[in-house]
Amino acid sequence: EAREVLRRELGVRDLNSLFEKLSDEPVASASIGQVYRGTLRDSQKDVAVKVQRPGILGEIALDLYVLRLLTPIQTKLQNAVNRQPTTQEDIDTAVSLVDEWGRGFVAETDYRLEARNTIQFEEAMRKRKLDAVCAPAVVEELVRDKVLVTEWVEGTRLDRDASSDVPRLCGVAINAYLTMLLDTGVLHCDPH
């Protein structure tokens, strides 16, 4: 299915016209997409190819619809357990929170927005001289609604790294988060 999404989104019949290599199996998976490792044919650059799961937006819409229907019931039950009266304002506030969460979740399916945010994040870190923090370079000509291609970045999870450099890197991460929260106003919540 992922290869069909790639062909359709990238407008090619044969993925070999773009990729010298492309893994058959995903190297990473998440709720809305899968990541494959590839090598671009023209530049020989190793890349991460993120492909959105087919039909995921419909699944999200259904989940949000059901959650929105259940929110007033959950609010009443929660208040009853806590021996609190439930007002219409309580229900409206809870539904508003679900709606806001839903808008953010739906935005996660916008790979063009993710590409723009990745580029802006990288620029913000460079501008602030946080050179130890990076984002993979976006291959802009291969960004589509359901496909995002970036450079492949090798790394090690800090929680699995035995290096003596881990405390310094944790400090870098904290500095980056504080910079995002207090300076840029945009929080990148998917660090790797």
What integer pLDDT is reported at residue 128 of this predicted model?
A: 87
What integer pLDDT is reported at residue 107 of this predicted model?
A: 87
**Active site residues per annotation:** 190
Residue of 118, 129, 132, 124 whose CA lies nearest to 180: 124
Across 29-33, 109-113, 153-157, the highest mean pLDDT is recorded for 109-113
What integer pLDDT is reported at residue 170 of this predicted model?
A: 84
Half-sphere exposure of 29 (CA within 13 A, CB side): 5
Higher-pLDDT residue of 29, 87: 87
Percent of residues, the chain, with pLDDT higher than 90: 64
What integer pLDDT is reported at residue 190 of this predicted model?
A: 64
Q: What is the pLDDT of residues 73-105, one digit of tens each?
A: 999 999 999 999 999 999 999 999 999 999 988
Give the Cβ contact number of residue 167 at 10 Å. Answer: 10
Buried b (16+ CB within 10 A) or exposed e, 85-98: eeeeebbeebbeeb
pTM higher than 0.85: no
Average pLDDT of the chain is 91
Q: What is the dihedral of CA 146, 45, 115, 118, to 10 degrees?
A: 140
Across 47-61, 116-130, 157-171, the highest mean pLDDT is recorded for 47-61
> Are 47 and 40 within 8 A, CB to CB?
yes
- What is the spatial distance between Cα 133 and Cα 188, in angstroms, rounded to a whole number? 12
Q: What is the pLDDT of residues 62-76, one digit of tens each?
A: 999 999 999 999 999
Direct distance between the N- and C-terminal alpha carbons of the chain, in angstroms, rounded to an integer: 26
Q: To which H or E segment does residue 13 belong?
A: none
Q: What is the pLDDT of residues 113-133, one digit of tens each?
A: 999 988 998 898 899 888 888
